[in-house]
Amino acid sequence: MTTQSKTQKHRIQHISLRANAIQPSGIRKFFDLLSSIDGVISLGVGEPDYATPWHIRESAIESIEKGQTMYTSNSGMPELRKELARFLKNEYKVDYDPTSELLITVGCSEALDLTMRAIIDPGDEVIIPNPCFVAYGSCVTLAGGKPVHIPTYEVNNFEISAQDIEKYITNKTRAILIGYPSNPTGAVLRRQKLAEIAALAIKYDLTVISDEIYSKLVYGAEFTCFASLPGMKERTVFLGGFSKAYAMTGWRIGYAAAPKEIIAAMHKIHQYTMMCVSTMSQMAALEALKGDQDSVTEMVEDYNRRRQVMVKGLRDIGLTCYEPKGAFYCFPSIKCTGMTSEDFAEKLLSEEKVAVVPGSAFGKCGEGYIRCCYATSLADIEEALKRMGRFVKKNKK
Ligand SMILES: Cc1ncc(COP(=O)(O)O)c(C=O)c1O
């Protein structure tokens, strides 16, 4: 090999420091295993088992039939932004200007990425309660920032407090990233606790990024929109989407609502990377907001029934399990088996054909837990519990 070809090979294989700094998602890694095994019951992937309600699908079909197949405004269709502003005002009593304070994005995922790239400078710290959604830390790292994970514990219902956060604030702290209802724990923060975080944000002049994608999936708990707290609209980046409540994961549509300077910066990045969200998905989202909400109510009632069955079932087989107040996950402890959460999940899959996600995929504080998604049929939940019961009995220390 000549010196030149050696150098070329090296260059071709070079991967950036930022890409090297993040790990593949612990969820995806695990689910690659799944496809090779027959008869598996999956409590794994965090998505509704329902198809998108018909009236929403029909509006997208109609838009295709009408030939609405061009790009839209980069920010998202004006009608959709107007309808979203109306929705946010009705649901949460927060007023957003549809022209300058809203951005339609490729899922809540893009909104999260854009937020970090728009507000983080190299070395800036972002405080994140842990365990947390798998993308949070990586998005901060990719933007050149430093995720600062703060532990939350089952004994405290996986809630974070302002006092916990304050201990981790430094002169590099730029933002606090919270996501309630929480994936993976199902925790929801009460208004008072959020108000204390709001006071902290004012005291230290921090931005709060609030991922509220599960806002409609709460069970008997009060949901508070962070931006609706006094003085918070101007320092909150509110992230939301359609994937969970409207069973629209595959449409890839979400949004960000924030002060106009932040939306303008996010818009610049979005303009060069995504241009706009698929036109059909925007038509579908418009119908989701404008149309009948009965299907959402029915799905939430159904999730609630499944939640109760799963919590009881997990406790009956001898696992301690915090009762989730929102989203569609249970996060039971598997510490009684003495296994790591990854070993537990791998063995459970190979021996009993039940797929769950190891808690460690959600960060250090997820070790000793597994995430079980109950957005699946009651029959599957019951069968999975039977198999897990056998497995726990065999492996309990
Ligand atoms: C907490 C949380 N935020 C954001 C997302 C991403 O949602 P979307 O499908 O809108 O990109 C998910 C998906 O699982 C999630 O659990």
pLDDT of residue 243: 98
State percent of the chain over pLDDT 90. Answer: 90
2 within a domain of the structure (yes/no): no
65 within a domain of the structure (yes/no): yes
CATH code of the domain containing 126: 3.40.640.10
pLDDT of residue 29: 64
Residues 263 and 165 in one domain: yes
Residues 279 and 347 in one domain: no
> For 147-192, what is each residue's pLDDT tens digit?
999 999 999 999 999 999 999 999 999 999 999 999 999 999 999 9
5 within a domain of the structure (yes/no): no
Ligand 1 atom with the smallest distance to the CA of 182 is 1
Ligand 1: centre distance to CA 108 (Å) = 6
Mean pLDDT of 297-320: 97
Residues 315 and 281 in one domain: no
Ligand 1: centre distance to CA 106 (Å) = 11
> For 281-295, what is each residue's pLDDT tens digit?
999 999 999 999 999
pTM attached to this predicted model: 0.95
Answer for the pair 93, 228: CB distance below 8 angstroms, yes or no: yes
Interstrand relation of 236-241 and 254-257 (parallel, antiparallel or unpaired): antiparallel
Residues 114 and 191 in one domain: yes
Residues 232 and 356 in one domain: no
Residues 89 and 205 in one domain: yes
Which of 27-41, 93-107, 148-162, 381-395 has the weakest average pLDDT?
27-41
> For 212-271, what is each residue's pLDDT tens digit?
999 999 999 999 999 999 999 999 999 999 999 999 999 999 999 999 999 999 999 999
Contacts of 201 (CB under 8 A, 6+ apart): 176, 207, 208, 232, 235
Cα separations in angstroms, 290 against 16, 35, 39, 80, 156: 44, 38, 40, 9, 38
- Among residues 290, 319, 344, the one where a domain terminates is 290
Of 342, 374, 337, nearest to 359 (Cα)?
342
377 within a domain of the structure (yes/no): yes
Residues 143 and 233 in one domain: yes
If one counts the domains in the chain, the total is 2
> For 366-376, what is each residue's pLDDT tens digit?
999 999 999 99
Give the residue numbers spanning the domain of 368.
15-51+295-395
CATH code of the domain containing 377: 3.90.1150.10
Q: Any idea what DSSP says for residue 251?
A: G
Residues 114 and 210 in one domain: yes
Q: Ligand 1 pocket: which of 108, 110, 139, 277 to mutate (most atoms <8 Å of CB)?
A: 108
Residues 168 and 224 in one domain: yes
Mean pLDDT of 341-370: 96
pLDDT of residue 1: 45
Ligand 1: centre distance to CA 240 (Å) = 9
- Among residues 290, 316, 347, the one where a domain terminates is 290
Q: Is 243 in the pocket of ligand 1 (CB under 6 A)?
A: yes
68 within a domain of the structure (yes/no): yes
Residues 158 and 300 in one domain: no
Mean pLDDT of 334-351: 95
Mean pLDDT of 190-209: 98
- Among residues 256, 290, 324, the one where a domain terminates is 290
Ligand 1: centre distance to CA 254 (Å) = 9
Residue 3 pLDDT > 70: no
Residues 66 and 77 in one domain: yes
pLDDT of residue 8: 60
